[in-house]
Amino acid sequence: MKLIQPTAAYAEEISAYRQAFLDAGERIHGGGALNRTADPLQWLQICQDMRRIETVPENLVPATQFIYVREEDGKIVGMLQARHFLDDYLAKYAGHIGYSVRPDERRRGYAKAMLAAALPFCWQLGLERVMITCARENEASRRTILANGGVFAGEAYEPDDKEFVERYWIERK
């Protein structure tokens, strides 16, 4: 498994990942604009623009996009977005990291490993602790966060999604 930044070489896999979520009727967490961007090359350009404060869209913070690829077959099994700092919305509801695992690849430990692989990048950004959130009823995500050292810090009601989110901090060791 490898956690890498996406490139055009993965365009077909990016489309397949998006389609797997559409087929499951689910939203892609940690995929940035992939929920609303069908063209993988357009999505890759958005990912590039998100990396720098000079090119990030207004009202968003810089973020780095990753894909989690199974090396044996080149399949994208997960996505993760690491936000470089928190704004008011992220501090309340979404945190530094958002992630998802392809619906047909779940319950194999990928989320736990993907999150663990992303933390060193966050430390390289200079973060001393990382906030991660999950929906109150998302037991799998809660277990993933706890397995990576997450400490519960409270919950908040997210009005757009109409759900309670739990907030966790992972401290740099």
CA neighbor of 21 nearest in space, from 77, 135, 103, 80: 103
Contact, 121 vs 51, CB < 8 A? no
Within a 13 Å sphere around the CA of 86, how many CA atoms are in the beta-carbon half? 20
What average pLDDT does range 146-164 have in this prediction? 96
The answer to whether the Cα torsion of 32, 150, 124, 72 is positive or negative is negative
pLDDT at 132: 98
CA neighbor of 166 nearest in space, from 143, 80, 62: 143
Please state the pTM of the whole predicted model: 0.95
pLDDT at 173: 84
For 115-128, the pLDDT digits (tens) are 999 999 999 999 99
Binning pLDDT at 50, 70 and 90, where does residue 152 land? very high
pLDDT at 60: 95
Go through the domains of the chain in sequence order and give each one's CATH number: 2-171 (3.40.630.30)
For 43-71, the pLDDT digits (tens) are 999 999 999 999 999 999 999 999 999 99
For 68-107, the pLDDT digits (tens) are 999 999 999 999 999 999 999 999 999 999 999 999 999 9
